[in-house]
Amino acid sequence: MSEQIGISNLPNQRYKLASKNGGYFTLMVAGESGLGKTTFINTLFQTTLKQSPDAKVRHKSDIHKTVEIEITRAELEEKNYTLRLNVIDTPGFGDNINNRNAFQPIVDFIDDQHDLYMKQEQQPERARAHDLRVHACLYFIRPTGHTLKPLDVEVMKKLGSRCNLIPVIAKADTLSPNEMLDFKNNIRAIIEAQDIRIYSPPIDHEDQGAAEHARQLIESMPFAVIGSEDLHEVTPGAAPVAGRKYPWGIVEVENDQHCDFRKLRSLLLRINMLDLILSTEELHYETYRSLRLSDDVPERSHEISRINNPKFLEEEKALRQAFSNQVKVEEQRFKQWEQNINTERARLNHDLSEIQEQIKQMEDQIKKLEISKGIKV
């Protein structure tokens, strides 16, 4: 029998191509202010992607009148693999007394990204398509220990139908284990009663280990997390761990008995990142595209959402910066031109003075010569 023809090497080729090109991932964090979203993101990626606002400055600052969209971009590299990360934050959400329709800018942003990507696909040149479609949305829930607020239910319904929604209970160390268990059960009951769609990792029945891990992740939802960028020594001589220090002990971020941080990280980054990306493409984007082409969704007016669209805000900022840089260049050129003129004027004046002095000396010599010759003028 002849040797194998080689089609089994295709996965190796795909692996090399994926390793060379890297990947893109867009993560949105939503929820009220003060729930530790920025700290969690920095803890999740083990680097300072965003600076946490000072608590004193934050409480003294004016309340956001509208929900804003902030984009943080970063390139993360691990074992020669590069991930181009986009983190979408939503400051101002839920901060006002009247939060009616506070979710609308967030929903509009997600829809706008689907719509913009669909329009880019219709263009002749698609190599530089701008893609900010949200692959996963972490919705942070305040740890009240009771139930979800009406605003939480409403926004989770809207988000769950547009992207991979992952509910997260913030600051898990503020509740006891029994309180956290009851709180999780209450949230699960509301999610089921309100028919809120949340992301569920696929179960691979051919791999028992992976299937069991997926079941554990599903059973842990909503994830109770703790974020901390501070390192503390738990065991003398051992490596310090991330956590929060209290008089009674240290709450460890990566301790499964303390919170679900490791499970959420596994879901987002280690096990299900590709499924999050593919489900965004094959489920949420295709659903929007189908509705859009069937006219069930009206064409979006990007002029209306232009103010809140970070793509246009970035373009406007870039144009302003380019204009400012051009003005500085022209000012520098004008100053240099003015300096050259002044230098040339000074040189010409100096030359003129020397010529005038030479003429005066020659006139004096002529007068002396005439006197010596006895010539009368």
For residue 63 the two structure tokens come to 């309340």
Judged by average pLDDT, the poorest of 15-24, 139-148, 271-280 is 15-24
Residue 354 has pLDDT above 70, yes or no: yes
Report residue 366's pLDDT band, with 50, 70 and 90 as the boundaries: confident
Report residue 303's pLDDT band, with 50, 70 and 90 as the boundaries: very low
Q: What is the pLDDT of residue 311?
A: 52
* Interatomic CA distance for residues 332 and 114, integer angstroms: 44
Residue 60 has pLDDT above 60, yes or no: no
Residue 319 has pLDDT above 70, yes or no: yes
Distances (CA, A) of 302 to 122, 128, 337: 17, 20, 45
* Between 322 and 207, the higher pLDDT residue: 207
State mean pLDDT over 191-208.
91
Report residue 314's pLDDT band, with 50, 70 and 90 as the boundaries: low
Q: What is the pLDDT of residue 54?
A: 62
Judged by average pLDDT, the poorest of 47-51, 94-98, 169-173, 182-186 is 94-98
State mean pLDDT over 43-67.
68
Q: What is the pLDDT of residue 6?
A: 79
Domain ranges within the chain, ordered by starting residue: 8-225+260-306, 309-377
Q: What is the pLDDT of residue 312?
A: 57
Residue 315 has pLDDT above 80, yes or no: no
**Across all residues in the chain, what is the average pLDDT?**
84
State mean pLDDT over 186-209.
91
Residue 306 has pLDDT above 60, yes or no: no
Q: Which of 40-49, 163-172, 227-236 is predicted most confidently? A: 163-172
State mean pLDDT over 338-366.
88
Q: What is the pLDDT of residue 326?
A: 82
Q: Which CATH class is domain 8-225+260-306?
A: alpha beta
Give me the residues paired with residue 304 across strands: none
Q: The pTM is what?
A: 0.74
Report residue 304's pLDDT band, with 50, 70 and 90 as the boundaries: very low
Of 108, 69, 74, 71, the C-alpha closest to 91 is 69
pLDDT tens digit string along 325-343?
A: 888 888 888 888 888 899 9
pLDDT tens digit string along 241-293?
A: 888 888 888 888 888 888 999 999 999 999 999 999 999 999 999 999 988 88
Q: What is the pLDDT of residue 307?
A: 46
State mean pLDDT over 82-107.
81
* Between 323 and 56, the higher pLDDT residue: 323
* Between 252 and 128, the higher pLDDT residue: 252
Q: What is the pLDDT of residue 207?
A: 86
Q: Percent of the chain having pLDDT more than 70?
A: 87
Residue 296 has pLDDT above 70, yes or no: no
Torsion of CA 37, 40, 41, 43, to 10 degrees: 160
